[in-house]
Structure 1
Amino acid sequence: MAFQFNFSIENTEESRLEALEDEKPQQELVQESLILLDKQESLAEKRNDMSSEENMFNQELLSEMPAQVADHSSLSKSHDVTLPEKYSCPAAAKAHNVPKDVGKILGSKVVEKLPGLYHINISVVKAELPNYTHGDNILTKSISSHSDLITGVYEGGLKIWECTFDLMDYFSEAKVQFAHKVVLDLGCGAGLLGITALKGNAERVHFQDYNGVVIEEITLPNILVNCICPSGDSEGITGPSLVQLQETDFNQDLISKCKFFSGEWSGFSKLLLNSVTPFAKYDLIITSETVYNPDYYEALHDTLSKLLKANGCVYVAGKAHYFGCGGGVLLFQEFVKKKNVFNSRSVKIIDKGLKRFIIELVFKNPS
């Protein structure tokens, strides 16, 4: 089987918008972020409705762009990026078990290759999800309408986002050590960050995504295909061959290190902290492209502060600003600063198109 990359993160209108935004001075971006932060706080009671001020802010940004870019109606349906729709029906948190019939999980999947790991072709999964009987109807609607986000319903797990690769590169460059650590891949999507930790000999790796269907159809299959024993040839295996895989074809030691969760962050942290089984907090929490919506900052910050060990570390990868959502790394850092719980520092800046950042969070007063 010939492997090929099938990511849709470069050829999108989003990339064009980001290139234009990069022309703005850094100070101007910070000022805009601070203004938006104040607006978000003053309208906290109206979070279910997009504020007129935020909408005006985004319209002003778009008005500075060429008409063919600013006109939302001109965004082609062939691209898988649109401004988010807004709903309010948070997903309940739950744990997902690894089914015994692992071959069935991989049966209809197509495996592709990345340096050092494998992944399931997401486009193939997307094509099948409209007929997925256990999925959320609104999720399949988002696929058919090429929408990357439906706030509070679908949070982008069916796409591998650009900053995921930034963080994977940083792990390699900085020689981040996962050995003997308990790791959480928060907002995991395809789970590539957690798989990197797993292959780095982490003691345990937990994967969390907003949507259960993402965990079941993307994350879990990705972990399984990366846990195929050396005797199994994962290169060139497609549907019919994957169905024939037995439990003995997988590295059970690696699989046993993993747990899977879905649901919104507040419910997820409560699920862990109120569990009958004693919960050991995480040495390392890794997350990519999860700071796009300021409405989620409170829940995100609360989850990080409750689930991280006293001497633990958080790595957050994200863009300077997210069009249509109002958030971004700069805004999130200001939010963190006001909370006065974590020290935050940028450990890497990717200055291509719209600036992308990797930031590190550690407790100010470990206890």
Structure 2
Amino acid sequence: MSFQFNFNIEERESSPGECEISLSKHTPTIPDKDVQPEDFNDLNRSSQKECVDNNECESNANSIASNKTLFCKPAAEHQIPEDVCSVLENKIVESSLGLQFVNVSVVEKTLSDSDVYGEDIVNKSITSNSDLISGVYEGGMKIWECTFDLIRYLEDKAVNFEDKAVLDLGCGAGLLGIFSLKQNSKVVHFQDYNSTVVEEITIPNALVNCDSNDLTNNINEPSGKRIKKSDAKPGLLTKCRFFSGEWSQFTQLMKNQEPPMKYNVILTSETIYNPTYYNALHEVFRNLLADDGIVYLASKSHYFGVGGGVHLFETFIKENKVFDIHTLKVHNDGLQRMLLSLVFTHS
């Protein structure tokens, strides 16, 4: 199956309160290869992550990294409402190939009429015709293609999550974390840049996939149906915590936990598209991964317009000499996509 991606990334102008990020330093049925993007709630709609050759990627990376400043969006924890039914209010839930998820188009329509979280990411995304606005919106309302590659791999290899602490980093829809949750993880933490994404997409998806035994019976039509409030049950959500904010801020928040938080497994998909973020991402891994832990990372080989990709990221990791990085699988259908793992070098 081939996916086409077209878009531009917008850069946010520097302002007081920003920080430099230096480059130096749930077991769901998995989609078949022939499934079309429309089967997954406009999966990859208006996607801005397109591949180009190595030279162009590296040139873009150097240009972006030399001038980029990132807004230090504070990290915050999002509490699960005591009335979990309120999470699904005004939501339409769809089902396709065993996956359940809120209809993003409906969420976007609701959010375009009000700015409950003070981010206004839907209108800004529409105005800029972009799914990525650096320092404003990092694409969390889309389900990116590599997420399904990684879920397939984790399922095919029967990766053991039992009694593990798991982080779904840059979670968006939260499907990676939801998968691990249904594999008996001890705890699963979800993190995304935007509060809006966590409140309107991640938490509802966790609920409908893992915490409503009766929901499946109510979602038999392709167009989706509204959830009956009486069907929602707390269940596996008690194992979950949800966070928003910039990566360095999130890292500090989790280091300040008592005891400091360490994850046995970190799952992340399509988060290495911008090389300017590599240092902050590396610090998440270095500070929050358990000594014997592992990172599973899914990515396209190259990203047009933002400059990142596997080649640059591997180089960055090797230069820092903290992690060993390995290629787990390569997908050559359509744009090349890769699955990677990272472990501490002393492991």
TM-score, with normalisation over the residues of structure 2? 0.81
CA contact (8 A) 1:178 1:202 kept: yes
Confirm or deny that 1:118 pairs with 2:139. no
Distance in structure 1 (CA, Å) of the matches to 2:324 and 2:163 = 24
Match of 1:332 among 296, 313, 317: 313
- What does the per-residue CA deviation read over 1:161-214, in whole Å, with 9 as the maximum and x for residues that have no partner? 011111111111222111111100000000000000011111110000000010
Match of 1:102 among 74, 77, 84: 84
Deviation at 1:32, TM superposition (A): 5.4
Deviation at 1:303, TM superposition (A): 0.7
CA contact (8 A) 1:37 1:335 kept: no
The 3-state SS of whatever aligns with 2:172 is coil
CA contact (8 A) 2:64 2:306 kept: no
Confirm or deny that 1:178 pairs with 2:161. yes
CA contact (8 A) 1:194 1:206 kept: yes
Alignment of 1:314-333 (within 5 A): 314-333=295-314
| Alignment RMSD | 2.3
Distance in structure 2 (CA, Å) of the matches to 1:296 and 1:13 = 19
% same residue: 43
The 3-state SS of whatever aligns with 1:111 is strand
The 3-state SS of whatever aligns with 1:225 is helix
CA pair 340-32 structure 1, distance change in 2 beyond 3 A: farther
CA contact (8 A) 2:77 2:244 kept: yes
CA contact (8 A) 2:255 2:261 kept: no
Alignment of 1:284-299 (within 5 A): 284-299=265-280
Residue in 1 that maps onto 2:251: 269
- What does the per-residue CA deviation read over 1:144-165, in whole Å, with 9 as the maximum and x for residues that have no partner? 2331011011100011101111
Deviation at 1:38, TM superposition (A): 6.1
Deviation at 1:98, TM superposition (A): 0.2
CA pair 355-89 structure 1, distance change in 2 beyond 3 A: same
Give 1:94's aligned amino acid.
Answer: A
CA pair 7-334 structure 1, distance change in 2 beyond 3 A: farther
Residue in 2 that maps onto 1:255: 237
Confirm or deny that 1:238 pairs with 2:272. no
Match of 1:8 among 26, 38, 42: 42
Deviation at 1:238, TM superposition (A): 3.0
CA pair 341-212 structure 1, distance change in 2 beyond 3 A: same
CA contact (8 A) 1:184 1:286 kept: yes
The 3-state SS of whatever aligns with 2:177 is helix
Residue in 1 that maps onto 2:116: 134
Deviation at 1:133, TM superposition (A): 3.3
Give the length in aligned residue pairs: 305
TM-score, with normalisation over the residues of structure 1? 0.77
Distance in structure 1 (CA, Å) of the matches to 2:211 and 2:301 = 38
The 3-state SS of whatever aligns with 1:245 is helix
The structure number with the bigger radius of gyration is 1
Deviation at 1:39, TM superposition (A): 6.1
Distance in structure 1 (CA, Å) of the matches to 2:256 and 2:47 = 43
Residue in 2 that maps onto 1:228: 211
Higher relative contact order (CA 8 A, sep 6+): 2
Give 2:89's aligned amino acid.
Answer: G
Confirm or deny that 1:214 pairs with 2:235. no
Residue in 2 that maps onto 1:66: none
CA pair 11-97 structure 1, distance change in 2 beyond 3 A: closer
Structure 2: state its 5+ residue gaps.
1-37
Deviation at 1:360, TM superposition (A): 0.5
Distance in structure 1 (CA, Å) of the matches to 2:323 and 2:194 = 28
